[in-house]
Amino acid sequence: MVETTFHGITLATEPGAVFTPRPATEQLVDAALGAIGAGPLRIADVGTGTGAIAVAIAAARPLVEVWASDRSADAVRVARLNAERNGVGARVHVVQGHLLDPLPGAFDLIVANLPYLPESVHRDEYDDEPPEAVYAPGDGLGYYRTLLGACEAGKLVIPGGKVVLQLHREVLEADCWQLKALRKKLDELRRRAA
């Protein structure tokens, strides 16, 4: 277990077992905080890893409640530890499972930094990370498409809710009525990165 700093908080991580949060993801947290007010809200962080995004948002907004999911048991364990250590364990609920499956109900805001690199590519910079935290099947966008499909179907985000995602160090934001445009933007970025 080693420690890293993210968005002004200290997080435990386990190199090789749990994805170490990157500075670029602090912009996602800033975008999420800019998208919400100070009131009570329900937020979902899909693919939480160390819990970096979930814990940083909960630490900055005392009234929000965050549900954070990850399919990795190691990530769930470390994210729970980080939530406790940062004093937000009562408001950050870390659950294990595939994407949105373990998440209860619909949310005001969905945030996600999920694997998006196709398995056919290799990036040396991620050699120390668990491959399933970095690479995704097919063209790499399948997890985000599933997530946006659920949002479009009204299963994950409430009417008036928002989505903030990270892809290739870019932060992409959309209101729930802009999700089709967000899908297009994802495809466009994928084509540019190919």
Ligand X SMILES: C[S@@+](CC[C@H](N)C(=O)[O-])C[C@H]1O[C@@H](n2cnc3c(N)ncnc32)[C@H](O)[C@@H]1O
Tokens of 126: 């991620």
Out of 7, 9, 25, 109, the only residue in the binding site for ligand X (CB under 6 A) is 25
CB of 107 to ligand X, least distance (A): 15
- By beta-carbon proximity to ligand X, the closer residue of 106 and 165 is 165
Q: How far apart are CA 148 and CA 100, in angstroms?
A: 11
**Does 114 participate in binding ligand X (rule CB under 6 A)?**
yes
CB of 177 to ligand X, least distance (A): 25
Site for ligand X in 58-97 (CB under 6 A): 69-72, 75
Alpha helices in the chain (DSSP H): 24-35, 52-60, 73-85, 142-152, 179-193
| Coil vs helix vs strand at 3 | strand
Q: How far apart are CA 28 and CA 51, in angstroms?
A: 13
Amino acid at 150: A
Out of 115, 148, 167, 171, the only residue in the binding site for ligand X (CB under 6 A) is 115
CB of 35 to ligand X, least distance (A): 17
CB of 112 to ligand X, least distance (A): 7
* CA nearest neighbour of 50 among 8, 5, 87: 5
Out of 43, 53, 83, 157, the only residue in the binding site for ligand X (CB under 6 A) is 53
DSSP 8-state symbol, 188? H
Q: How far apart are CA 53 and CA 7, in angstroms?
A: 9
- By beta-carbon proximity to ligand X, the closer residue of 106 and 177 is 106
Residue ranges in contact with ligand X by CB under 6 A: 19, 21, 25, 47-50, 52-53, 69-72, 75, 98-99, 113-115, 132-134, 143
